[in-house]
Homo-oligomer: A and B are copies of this chain.
Amino acid sequence: MFKNFLALICIVFALPLHAQNQSDDALFIKKIYNHILTDGACYNWLSDLSTDVGGRLAGSEGADAAVLFTKAIMDTLGLDRVYLQDCMVPHWERGSAEHVSATTQAGLQKTLKATALGNSPAGKASAEIIEVFSLEEVEKLGSKGIAGKIVFYNRPMDPTQIRTFNAYGGAVDQRGRGPAMAARFGAVGAVVRSMTTKTDNVPHTGVTIFGDDPQIPAVAVSTMHADWLSAELKKGSVSISIETHCQILPDKASHNVIGEIIGDTYPEKIILVGGHLDSWDLGGGAHDDGSGCVHAMQVLHSMRALGYRPKHTIRCVLFMNEENGLGGATAYANASNAKSEFHMAALESDAGGFTPRGFSVDGDNSIFAEKFKAMTEWLPLLEPFGLSLSKGGGGADINPLKSQKGVLIGFRPDSQRYFDYHHTADDTIDAVNQRELEMGAAAITSLIYLIDSYGL
């Protein structure tokens, strides 16, 4: 009875304090939203980054310009430190435009909407194509079935996946490792169906990795032209000519761009928020991942504008070279570990500038359950803004920090339109809705505020 009474006392006294905090938090989160939805800078930054700077593949002049451009913005935000961190990145160049054409058995010739994949060598290949739907199929066919041919990977992304990233994950091995597998068995070129659920005439590039396998010209074709090839193959053989002019040059020095506000109370505990600064060369990298970069910079901008002094160090990191090598992420984690830093939390936004749905949370097994539970206490503050928490990956650039045993968080916006633009010439500011982008920045700033307020 006495124990129950004590428990009751605790509840009675605890409730008002808890309620008070929640109400203060709710007010501050509303302030964050109000600030970003009325005075947010992220959309204009993204417009300039994706249009004036444009495509910025690691090693390119665009990437150098993006480093200078975002550092210059951060220099205006009144931060405690803004600096560049050295890293080495691969340097692949597309060169002049690739050309891919098909000739059917009936003699019909067609130029295909195609784009060289990152790491494709320069080369010419002309051969009959063989359509396959998996890497396993190529292995089974072996040299006898593959040698001298161009392998055409045509397994579509599964449109019934609700989250399109799962559909991507289920198909992208064809682009990432398919050309290498084809080359291993003597293929002279590889053609991959573009990674999108949309049926259109826009080719999607992205990285392919040859490793120790022979390098062969490797391209992606639009889904419409992939469907056309498939239909023609039902009538008879089809041969394809590929011409690429790519170059793999020596690795190059580049930079992560970092800005931070030093924590008032726990300066040694770091809350990282970031995206990746590099993009593919075809478009302006607006959703992938200019959005993530401006989201992260908006966090610092809003904290300063609202006069918020964080307890912990809030560090914005724009990682170089997520797309084809993680040179920036590796350099960052190595430097951080060498200094025995502790990232209490690291959040990456790399899923586009769409309406936020929530966050996925990850972390070392030794800490995950407890930290995730603590975060779910914040749900009453997040749900009014349409935000939920789920278990899932943080992000490619922050994953190397997992060993520091902080929490890794991935920003999860609505995913329906992401693969309409991903790695294409259409990933420009026109594909970004200002309110959706700002809602994402506000969601992220709010979560960073809660992490800073309560610790993790």
Instruction: Return the chain B residue nearest A40 by Cβ.
Output: B159
Q: How far is the CA of A142 from the CA of B312 in the complex (A)?
A: 57
Q: How far is the CA of A386 from the CA of B386 in the complex (A)?
A: 10
Q: Residue among A164, A385, A417 with the most chain B CB within 10 A?
A: A417
Does chain B have a CB within 8 A of A355? yes
Does chain B have a CB within 8 A of A20? no
Does chain B have a CB within 8 A of A445? no
Does chain B have a CB within 8 A of A22? no
Complex interface: stretch among A31-39, A68-76, A87-95, A368-376? A31-39
Once the chains bind, are A160 and B435 in contact (CB under 8 Å)? no
Among candidates B30, B37, B164, B357, residue contacting A159 with C-beta atoms closer than 8 Å: B37
Among candidates B33, B355, B417, B420, residue contacting A416 with C-beta atoms closer than 8 Å: B355
Instruction: Return the chain B residue nearest A433 by Cβ.
Output: B417
Q: How far is the CA of A355 from the CA of B386 in the complex (A)?
A: 13
Beyond A197-B435, A416-B436, A439-B416, is A160–B34 a contact (Cβ under 8 Å)? Answer: yes
* Contact residues in B for A416 (Cβ distance below 8 Å): 355, 433, 435-436, 439
Does chain B have a CB within 8 A of A198? yes
Among candidates B34, B162, B384, B417, residue contacting A384 with C-beta atoms closer than 8 Å: B162
Once the chains bind, are B434 and A198 in contact (CB under 8 Å)? yes
Does chain B have a CB within 8 A of A25? no
Q: How far is the CA of A355 from the CA of B162 in the complex (A)?
A: 11
Q: Residue among A164, A357, A420, A434 with the most chain B CB within 10 A?
A: A434
* Contact residues in B for A86 (Cβ distance below 8 Å): none
What is the CB-to-nearest-CB distance from A43 to chain B, in angstroms, rounded to a whole number? Answer: 11
Question: Which A residues, 407 to 456, have Cβ-Cβ distances below 8 Å to chain B?
Answer: 414, 416-417, 420, 433-436, 439
Beyond A433-B416, A439-B416, is A33–B355 a contact (Cβ under 8 Å)? Answer: no
* Contact residues in B for A384 (Cβ distance below 8 Å): 162
Q: How far is the CA of A236 from the CA of B130 in the complex (A)?
A: 74
Q: Mark A211-236, 1 if CB is under 8 A from B, else 0.
A: 00000000000000000000000000
Once the chains bind, are A159 and B355 in contact (CB under 8 Å)? no
Instruction: Return the chain B residue nearest A198 by Cβ.
Output: B434
Beyond A197-B435, A386-B357, is A33–B162 a contact (Cβ under 8 Å)? Answer: yes
Instruction: Return the chain B residue nearest A199 by Cβ.
Output: B434
* Contact residues in B for A433 (Cβ distance below 8 Å): 416-417, 420
Among candidates B34, B420, B436, residue contacting A417 with C-beta atoms closer than 8 Å: B436
Q: How far is the CA of A160 from the CA of B40 in the complex (A)?
A: 11
Once the chains bind, are B160 and A38 in contact (CB under 8 Å)? yes
* Contact residues in B for A34 (Cβ distance below 8 Å): 160
Instruction: Return the chain B residue nearest A31 by Cβ.
Output: B160
Q: Mark A135-175, 1 if CB is under 8 A from B, else 0.
A: 00000000000000000000000011010100000000000
Q: How far is the CA of A439 from the CA of B38 in the complex (A)?
A: 30
Question: Which A residues, 359 to 391, have Cβ-Cβ distances below 8 Å to chain B?
Answer: 384-386
Once the chains bind, are B434 and A38 in contact (CB under 8 Å)? no
Question: Which A residues, 36 to 90, have Cβ-Cβ distances below 8 Å to chain B?
Answer: 37-38
What is the CB-to-nearest-CB distance from A315 to chain B, in angstroms, rounded to a whole number? Answer: 28
* Contact residues in B for A357 (Cβ distance below 8 Å): 386
Once the chains bind, are B160 and A37 in contact (CB under 8 Å)? yes
Once the chains bind, are A162 and B436 in contact (CB under 8 Å)? no
Once the chains bind, are B159 and A38 in contact (CB under 8 Å)? yes
Once the chains bind, are A162 and B386 in contact (CB under 8 Å)? yes
Question: Which A residues, 247 to 277, have Cβ-Cβ distances below 8 Å to chain B?
Answer: none
The 8 closest A-B pairs by CB, nearest first: A416-B435, A34-B160, A37-B159, A416-B436, A355-B414, A37-B160, A355-B416, A417-B433
6 A–B contacts from the bound complex (CB under 8 Å)? A34-B160, A37-B159, A162-B385, A162-B386, A416-B439, A417-B433
Q: A37-B159, A162-B439, A416-B439 are in contact. List 20 more A-B contacts (CB 8 A).
A: A30-B160, A34-B160, A37-B160, A38-B160, A159-B435, A162-B384, A162-B385, A162-B386, A164-B435, A198-B434, A355-B355, A355-B414, A355-B416, A357-B386, A414-B414, A416-B433, A416-B436, A417-B433, A417-B435, A420-B433
